[in-house]
């Protein structure tokens, strides 16, 4: 386990039992020395290492310097006063780091991942959820009621969407000659507003973030309205800890009313 508390410090054998009986001063000095060592051990800050994936604005920014998920983890462990170290890995490698005990916790975990990867530890349960939508310009008046309806439109999705979503979505994508994927989420929003594609498929928080950034940069027309279609459902996730006590603290902190209000927009 990586939680690095203070090392045990062996008490120096400065005084023998005979000396202690003969000298109250020696007893006082021994007591003070013991107190100093104990205080030094207690005061050393404990570090918790947390594995995260690559930047995913606005969920994760600056290799863990900020973002929705970074704030959530800090809030859930704030009462511990531990030092938190967020370590960014390529998305799949964060699980390898957890299995090798290189970190104390890993983010973006759900029951499916736990089962598939045979992860051992303490799961917080679902604390937040991504939610993908199909977005189109309102002026087009498109009407789609289910995923297969998207097959007749040009659609730009995020890289890996077919493999991640699978099922009906994968069938639609494979039957759509105008379906493409990109690793750049800001480019999805840019292409939609420039009328290069009929639809984009993207998490709502990410869409809102990139839209705001592109408007500020005068790259897209803020006057264009967008319609959203909730076809894909939510993708709930949480954290996995090596330590049960930390898991329990995290979960109980996020049960507080003020925390529920703060994160209501991403609730699972």
Q: What is the pLDDT of residue 160?
A: 86
- Over the stretch 120-166, which tens digit does the pLDDT of each residue have? 999 999 999 999 999 999 999 999 999 999 999 999 999 889 988 88
- Over the stretch 42-54, which tens digit does the pLDDT of each residue have? 334 589 999 999 8
pTM (predicted TM-score): 0.77
Location of structure tokens 């699980």: 95
Answer whether CATH 3.40.190.10 is correct for domain 47-129+236-266. Answer: yes
Q: What is the pLDDT of residue 92?
A: 82
Q: What is the mean pLDDT of the chain?
A: 88
Q: Token digits for 92?
A: 């799949």
Element holding 36 (H helix, E strand): helix 24-43
Q: What is the pLDDT of residue 14?
A: 42
Domain residue spans of the chain? 1-44, 47-129+236-266, 130-234
Q: What is the pLDDT of residue 32?
A: 65
Q: What residues have CB less than 8 Å from 21, skipping those under 6 apart? A: none
For residue 246, count other CB atoms closer than 10 A to its CB.
Answer: 21
Which CATH class name applies to 130-234? alpha beta
Q: Report d(CA 204, CA 266) in Å as an integer.
A: 10
Angle ∠(237,242,244) on CA atoms, nearest 5: 85
Q: What residues have CB less than 8 Å from 56, skipping those under 6 apart? A: 67, 206
Considering all CA atoms of the chain, what is the largest pairwise distance in Å, rounded to the nearest integer? Answer: 95
Hey, do 47-129+236-266 and 130-234 end up sharing a CATH topology, with the first three levels equal?
yes
When pLDDT is averaged across residues 223-237 and rounded to a whole number, the result is 95
- Over the stretch 66-90, which tens digit does the pLDDT of each residue have? 999 999 999 999 999 899 999 999 8
Look at strands 234-241 and 83-88 and give their pairing: unpaired
Q: What is the pLDDT of residue 34?
A: 62
Specify the range with the lowest mean pLDDT, choosing from 44-48, 105-109, 146-150, 249-253: 44-48
């Amino acid at each position: 386990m990586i939680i690095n508390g203070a090392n045990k410090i062996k008490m120096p054998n400065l005084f023998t039992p005979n000396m202690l009986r003969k000298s109250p001063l020696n007893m006082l000095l021994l007591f003070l020395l013991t107190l100093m060592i104990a205080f030094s051990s207690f005061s050393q800050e404990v570090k918790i290492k947390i594995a995260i994936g690559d930047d995913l604005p606005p969920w994760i920014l600056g290799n863990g310097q900020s973002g929705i998920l970074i704030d959530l983890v800090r809030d859930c462990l704030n009462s511990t006063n531990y030092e938190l170290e967020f370590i960014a890995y390529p998305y799949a490698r964060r699980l390898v780091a957890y299995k090798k005990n290189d970190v104390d916790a890993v983010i973006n975990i759900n029951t499916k991942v736990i089962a598939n990867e045979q992860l051992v530890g303490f799961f917080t349960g679902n604390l937040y959820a991504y939610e993908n939508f199909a977005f189109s310009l309102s002026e087009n008046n498109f009407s789609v009621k289910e995923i297969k309806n998207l097959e007749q439109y040009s659609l730009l999705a995020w890289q890996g969407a077919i493999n991640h979503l699978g099922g009906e979505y994968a069938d639609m994508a494979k039957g759509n000659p105008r379906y493409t994927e990109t690793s750049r989420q800001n480019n999805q929003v840019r292409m939609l507003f420039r009328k290069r594609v009929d639809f984009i498929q993207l998490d709502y928080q990410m869409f809102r973030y990139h839209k705001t950034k592109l408007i500020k940069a005068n790259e897209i027309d803020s006057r264009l309205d967008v319609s959203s279609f909730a076809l894909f459902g939510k993708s709930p996730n949480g954290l996995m800890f090596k330590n049960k006590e930390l898991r329990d603290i995290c979960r109980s902190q996020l049960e507080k009313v003020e925390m529920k209000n703060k994160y209501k927009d991403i609730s699972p």
